Every structure is written in C-alpha cells, then in structure tokens.
Amino acid sequence: MEHTLKTYEEYFSQSAEVRMCHYEKAGRLQHVMLSHQFSISLMEELFDIADHVKEMTRKPNGIEFLKSLLSHKKAMLYFTQPSTRTFLSFLTACQMVGMDTGEVRDPSLSSEYKGESQEDGVRVFSSYFDLIIMRDPKPGFCEYMAYLLDNTGRSVPIMNGGSGKDQHPTQALLDLYTMHRSFQENGGIRNKKYAFVGDLLRGRAVRSSVMLLSQYKDVEMYFVAPPSFQIAEDLEKHLISQGVKITKTDDFNSVLSAMDCVYMTRLQDEYDLSGESNSIDYSQYNLTPDNVASMKSTAIILHPLPRRHEISPEVDADPRAMYWRQLRNGVYIRAALLLYVFNVADRLHEY
C-alpha cells in the first residue's frame, strides 16, 4: 500500500458526496451505506428486481430457482447492535437467494477483543464471508470499515443494517418500494400527497424516506406533529431547496382526508426533550377506525413498526393498512439488493 490510510476523523471530515464515491465501482453500488446513494433510476431497477423476486416466491419452483442464484455466496450478519426484526428480515432475504449465513450478535464483541482493534475484528470476519451486513452502535463504523476493507487486498461489500444514529437505507428503500407497489395502478409515487406523522425530529426512518421521496416530481409533504417534534431545520431547508411543497401542522384530522399516503410513526414521548410531553394530547396523532373512515379510498397507511398506540389494531383489517405488507416488502427489496450487489439479477430472466 503506497498511500497512508485516513484516520476515522480524516475520513469523516469529507462530505457525504465525496465519501459516496468510495461505494461505487464501475458505476455500480459496491457498499450500501446511505439513502443518498439511491437515485430514482436505481430505485426503479431495484423495484423491478423485487417485483420479480416476489412473483417467484409464489411457487416452489420459483423459490428453488431463487435459492440457486447466490448459493455460492456467504453473508455475515454482524449485528453487534441488537435488532431482532431487522436481523430476521435480512436473514430471510439471504436465505431467499440461497446464501449461507453466519452471525455475530454479541454486543460485547463490538468493543476490543484481547486488545485487538475492531477493524482487525471485522477483517477477520470478512475473511470467511462474501458480504457483511452490519449494525453496530458506533457512529460511522460501517462506513469507515468499508473504507478500510477497500484498502486491503480482499474487500467485500458491506450493507448498513441501520447502525446507531446512522442512516437506515434499506428501511427507506422498503418504504419507497411499498409506495411504488401501492400506487402502481394509480400513477405511481409522483404527484401525490404524503403525510408524515409522529416524532419527526428524532425518527430516523422518516428522515431517510423523506430524502428518497423528495427526488420524485410533484410530491407534496405534510409534517404532522406537535411543534416540539417537528422536522429538523436542515431537512426543511433541503426540501425547500429541492422544490418540494411542504406543510407543517399539528392538526392531523384537518389534513387526513386529502392524503394519498399516511406514514405513521411512534411519538417517542420517553425521549421528550422539552418536558412538555405530558401536556400534549398524543391521542390526536393516532389512527382509529373513526378517523381512517375519512381517508380517501385509494390512500395507504404505512408504519415502520413496532407500533404502540398510534394505530389501533382494528385498523389492521382495513384494505388501506399496508404496514404488514411493508414488512414483507422489506424482505423482497433486501433480496433484490443482494442480487443487485452480486450482479446476478439478470439471471432472473432465465426462469
């Protein structure tokens, strides 16, 4: 190695745009780190693959064929930050395309091991596997590891599985994929009204999905939350600079009937910063059969789950409730991403 490696601090002194260059090779995604990486055309390529995958899982033969596509590859699920559901979604996606898997799930392994650097630790795992799906509590760890591995003789793709306060790019992708499928017969994602409801300040899912959605033409966004939970200023500025028409409100019911998509999230009152959470009537940010009745018949309801009180279980049976489907879409889009990263998606047409 001729050059000297950047330290963690040097690496992150670069802008996201510059860092992103590292994650591509010959015009293809090499590592999956940030939602910024997904242009509309790349998303639509992935949606097509995911549609294809979903279709194939309907028949035993299709399932067998899918499992043959990456049966020569092995994935390491490095989840030193615990998350049973994201873990299982990725595991299922790996199994769907036939990958063998190993797992590291002990949070204590995210720190030093017998004095070994964590970088060495991850490099050890990269020796045994062809891909690492990583969720680690240390900010930026995934990205920095991808950088370090790229500078060894033997790199493998890394996918960010939603580490710490970092982005959760596959969650954003599955949200968009669910919008795409739901609006397929109805003009697509563009030219629709989207409400985001709940804790918009700290909810990581909303932020990433909003970023992806802002690329589509003529989307209007409604941010519905008590003032102390409204979206961050930088996100608001970014959206306005992108030409997105936005509305901030704390009156859910006044906008509900006009929405094409209502994206619900938890109001994380346990983290309330202002101390005023006790004085807020959270129930007005909930969906119940009563207010769902006022929604458009073509509208959809999303939720990244888990939910608490913000969607009443009676709503589950409503045909507009898409959150359980959204969960399954997560598996299809992750499987699609695996096929894409290993460049075997074209083989789907052989079936």
Residues that are catalytic: 85-86, 114, 135, 168
CB nearer to a copy of itself: pick between 320 and 328? 328
Nearest distance from C-beta of residue 190 to a copy of itself, angstroms: 28
Strand-pair partners of 220: 193, 245
Which residues form the interface with a copy of itself (CB under 8 A)?
1, 60, 63-64, 67, 71-72, 74, 76, 84-85, 88-89, 91-92, 95, 100, 102, 104, 106, 109, 113-117, 120-121, 123-125, 127-129, 152-154, 266, 305-309, 313-314, 316-317, 324, 327-328, 331
Nearer Cβ to a copy of itself (69/179): 69
Shorter beta-carbon distance to a copy of itself: residue 3 or 349: 3
Please identify, using beta-carbon distances, which residue of 222 and 332 lies nearer to a copy of itself: 332
Residues in Cβ contact with 76 at an 8 Å cutoff, skipping those fewer than 6 apart: 101, 102, 103, 104, 125, 126, 128, 129, 131, 132, 133
CB 284 to a copy of itself: min, Å: 18
CA dihedral 36, 42, 43, 49 (to 10 degrees): -140
Question: Which of 38/129 has CB closer to a copy of itself?
Answer: 129
The percent helix, strand, coil of the chain (3-state, each to 5) is: 45, 15, 40
DSSP three-state, residue 294: coil
DSSP state of 232: P
Residue 205 CA, distance from chain mean position: 7
DSSP state of 206: H
Minimum CB distance to a copy of itself, residue 87 (Å): 9
Is the Cα torsion angle 178, 50, 70, 121 positive or negative in sign? negative
* Torsion of Cα atoms, 123 then 129 then 133 then 134, to 10°: -20
Half-sphere exposure in the Cβ direction for 259 (13 Å, CA)? 29
Element (H, E) at 324: helix 323-341
